[in-house]
A and B are shown apart, each in its own frame.
Chain A
């Protein structure tokens, strides 16, 4: 009996430790990202916590698994729901709208109001933007609420990193890792599928009708570069700003093969472009190679960048078949 007891104890302990119930997610399957349903993460009241994560506001300690998360960043919202932390979210900012059904509130991500945020009694707040003159994270930290600041991603690796951070901070680390792998796989597939059709094609990415654009140095520009596309703004950005303003004359004379409108939500389209003085007759307009982008997908750096890449790949393939 003496020898069985420790083994029984060990077995019992092992059984408890691996006991897992699948987490439920509130992600609507119709609007799910191309990544597969997030794998169930381990939940036990104290599994992994307390822990520290590295965010853009430094090291943040999270005492226990957050159950009342407030997200003030539409990208963070998408990431939260994609890693299966949707249940744990009690409020998101007024610009967060994906996936459908997220608890949108009046909270502003641009001008965060400390008191308004605290009225939700959060245990974790995620921001992408902090106004310099009224740092919200300090105020929240003073009241004992953990805050993660996750700035705009500069590279694809930043995106994966942020997903990992969110996964770890919310106790959904495995789901996060799985999501990242799925995203990488999809991206690789799109790239290889497009092969060399995109190599050397020139493009213009319009941020607004006064010709602000993003060069290939920016995050969004790097996505285009995955397919070998060449950004007409690169040689124009002598200052290295990343988001230079071009002139109509320059764009017309460069005559890009593809035009992507990130300002389509504000009414820009192939028709409005044709009305601009000097634009009628441009190659991209004649070939029907003007793509109206979903403004959200083109401006966030969450799991849906895969959708964005797919849209660009479609445009490349259309151009290749038309040639």
Chain B
């Protein structure tokens, strides 16, 4: 072995300016698209002027009618913001789950959140018929399911990641069976429940955005801060422990934050699938293995992805709307095929 001269210091993994630039640009285009396109046909120039005018301290004549302004600021803007928020949360939670369970195809619904929230929403529609109760019951259902999963996974199967996932599968199956039973007994609510399950950002106002915001911000901060720890977890529990990490506690904190944010997102937007898998995994393939790259980019690309998906959902069959879960699944299925092909080529 020959000793070389002093090596240049390596740089720890980070997203890098090109990646961040692309992410911000894509998000910007998505948001603009979401604000300027829609069945109400608002003049693009006028809309941009109105948005500019809305920024405190800036003025611009825009010529939009009162109806058009209401459409732009009371309907489109909160909807775009909500789409960005939900997309960011789901992608971030997906990345966190992939890191914590060392499985690049884990998604935020893994521990039964989706099934639990679906059950809560079904009960709200079937037993009360009161739409206002859907979100709180869905949130409660999602969280309850994860608590049960965690308790079962720890007591029955030990504390490993695998036992948690298996417990999640069991809980999800049970919750889904319950949900089907309730629906059979309340056949008239099937359409509402089904429409909720497919995901929608339809009746979003600032109230809904504010309901999600605290969960998203707090959980988001925790998960983004924990990104380096996810890389350490990639070495496996044993080596992570030997490196001084309290693996159980880190896993618990990350899972709780990710689940809380996911449950909150699901309670307002229904079950939007594939975002939590597609976005982080695509970023992994394109931009790098480290969660210090994947996590921050997931926030930006996740937001952009869902805003674009929502735009597609409300323009493809305008003025009707596709459920947004259909659009994300439509992109998701071919994506899986591409991933499978690239894996096959690699091995």
Contact yes or no, B205 A247, CB < 8 A = no
> Which of B66-74, B214-222, B281-289, B290-298 participates in binding chain A?
B66-74
Contact yes or no, A111 B187, CB < 8 A = yes
**B residues less than 8 Å from A239 (CB atoms):** 317
Enumerate B1-53 residues with CB–CB distance to A below 8 Å.
38-41
In the complex, what distance in Å separates the CA atom of A307 from the CA atom of B204?
36
Contact yes or no, A245 B321, CB < 8 A = yes
Q: B158: CB under 8 A from chain A? A: no
**B residues less than 8 Å from A110 (CB atoms):** 187-188
- Name the interface size band of chain B: 20 to 34
Contact yes or no, B314 A277, CB < 8 A = no
Binary B-proximity of A274-310 (CB < 8 A = 1, otherwise 0): 0011101100000000000000000000000000000
Enumerate A204-254 residues with CB–CB distance to B below 8 Å.
208-211, 236, 238-239, 244-250, 252-253
**B residues less than 8 Å from A209 (CB atoms):** 131, 203
Q: A101: CB under 8 A from chain B? A: no
| Contact A246 to B320, CB < 8 A, known contacts A209-B131, A210-B203, A253-B67 | yes
In the complex, what distance in Å separates the CA atom of A281 from the CA atom of B187?
36
Contact yes or no, A252 B40, CB < 8 A = yes
In the complex, what distance in Å separates the CA atom of A276 from the CA atom of B39?
18
Enumerate B105-142 residues with CB–CB distance to A below 8 Å.
129-131
Name the residue on B nearest A233 (C-beta): B319
**A residues less than 8 Å from B203 (CB atoms):** 209-210, 248, 276-277
The one of A249, A277, A280, A281 that contacts B319, using a Cβ cutoff of 8 Å: A249
**B residues less than 8 Å from A245 (CB atoms):** 320-321
Contact yes or no, B40 A250, CB < 8 A = yes
The one of A238, A250, A252 that contacts B70, using a Cβ cutoff of 8 Å: A252
**A residues less than 8 Å from B70 (CB atoms):** 252, 278, 280-281
Contact yes or no, A210 B192, CB < 8 A = yes
| Contact A211 to B202, CB < 8 A, known contacts A249-B76, A281-B70 | yes
Binary B-proximity of A101-132 (CB < 8 A = 1, otherwise 0): 00000000011000000000000000000000
**B residues less than 8 Å from A236 (CB atoms):** 39, 318-320
Closest Cβ of chain A to B189, distance in Å, is: 10
Contact yes or no, B78 A277, CB < 8 A = yes
Contact yes or no, A249 B75, CB < 8 A = yes
Q: B200: CB under 8 A from chain A? A: yes
Enumerate B167-195 residues with CB–CB distance to A below 8 Å.
187-188, 191-192, 195
Q: A78: CB under 8 A from chain B? A: no
| Contact A277 to B205, CB < 8 A, known contacts A210-B192, A249-B76, A255-B67 | yes
Enumerate B300-339 residues with CB–CB distance to A below 8 Å.
314, 317-321
In the complex, what distance in Å separates the CA atom of A108 from the CA atom of B38?
42
In the complex, what distance in Å separates the CA atom of A250 from the CA atom of B71?
9
In the complex, what distance in Å separates the CA atom of A266 from the CA atom of B314?
26
Contact yes or no, A210 B200, CB < 8 A = yes
| Contact A250 to B206, CB < 8 A, known contacts A236-B320, A277-B75, A278-B70 | no
**B residues less than 8 Å from A111 (CB atoms):** 187
| Contact A249 to B129, CB < 8 A, known contacts A111-B187, A210-B202 | no
Give the residue among B192, B200, B204 with the most A Cβ atoms within 10 A.
Answer: B192
Name the residue on A nearest B73 (C-beta): A278
In the complex, what distance in Å separates the CA atom of A295 from the CA atom of B3?
87
| Contact A249 to B200, CB < 8 A, known contacts A277-B75, A278-B74 | no
Cβ-closest 7 pairs across A and B = A277-B205, A278-B74, A253-B40, A250-B319, A278-B75, A236-B319, A250-B39
Which of B's residues lie within 8 Å of A, judged by CB?
A: 38-41, 66-68, 70-71, 74-76, 78, 129-131, 187-188, 191-192, 195, 200, 202-207, 314, 317-321
